[in-house]
Amino acid sequence: MLRVTYVWHSCFVVELDKSILVFDYFPKEAVETVHFEGKMPELDANKHIYVFASHSHKDHFSLEVLRWREKYSQISYIFSKDIRLGRAYLLRNGFDPEIKKQIHFVSVIEKYEIGDLVVETLRSTDAGVAYLVQAEGLSIYHAGDLHWWNSGMEGELYTKTYGDAYKRELNRIKNRHIDLAFVVLDPRLGDAYYLGMEYFLKNMDVDLVFPMHMWKQYDLIDRFKRRPELVGLSQKVVDIDRENIIFDLN
């Protein structure tokens, strides 16, 4: 089984035969400037659930995921180390600080074996990590906020600095095959919105790329795919036009 559910923003659920991977969930109400629709899908409690958070920004992480333990007995948490969960903070939010023992906090540029997964991390160009996960024979990449950040207005040095950092991280996995990738396509970057996604498509061995971090501006996908530079590559980009869209891939 291979089912991908786009929840909203950068949150995706990947369901496999034995496990379910949830990336960067947050409550849709956490971002006041955008009204996200849809809801988190019901998860199969008979499968092992792995909940990833790439960094602490409120559009990528919420303490709410720790309450899922009450519903799902087979659950593991993989959080970037920049997510700081101090004793007082946890108590204030109704959690026993002992819960931290059930969380795998990961550092940048490291490799971990967590349950049945092999998890590798890259250094984000913003905060936290990007993930490359080996699960049930598949290689799955989630960028978090690893991206070629550039609004097109800061100047050549700014563009080069972020571009070099972005390329350096992707070069760590450049010769690795990736089955599914979740990659930033952010409309806030103006005319430079395409740089990170285009570089990824041209330089990585990837089968399918799911755009994310689009702030509901889904028309950006079609605009991106019509770029003449993407001849022969645009078919790898998955069309998303709403929250809670489901892709059955086998």
pTM of the model: 0.96
φ, ψ (nearest 5 deg) of residue 70? -70, -25
Mean pLDDT of 127-150: 96
pLDDT digits (tens, 9 = 90+) for 179-207: 999 999 999 998 889 999 999 999 999 99
With tokens 């996908």, the residue in question is 221
Give the span between the Cα atoms of 133 and 154, in whole angstroms.
34
pLDDT digits (tens, 9 = 90+) for 65-87: 999 999 999 999 999 999 999 99
CATH number of the domain residue 238 falls in: 3.60.15.10
Q: Over 90: is that where the pLDDT of 227 sits?
A: yes
Number of domains in the chain: 1
Give the span between the Cα atoms of 162 and 158, in whole angstroms.
6
Nearest-Å Rg of the Cα atoms of the chain is: 18
pLDDT digits (tens, 9 = 90+) for 18-54: 999 999 999 999 998 999 988 999 999 999 999 999 9
Query: By residue range, what is the domain housing residue 54?
Result: 3-248
| Percentage of residues of the chain with pLDDT beyond 70 | 97
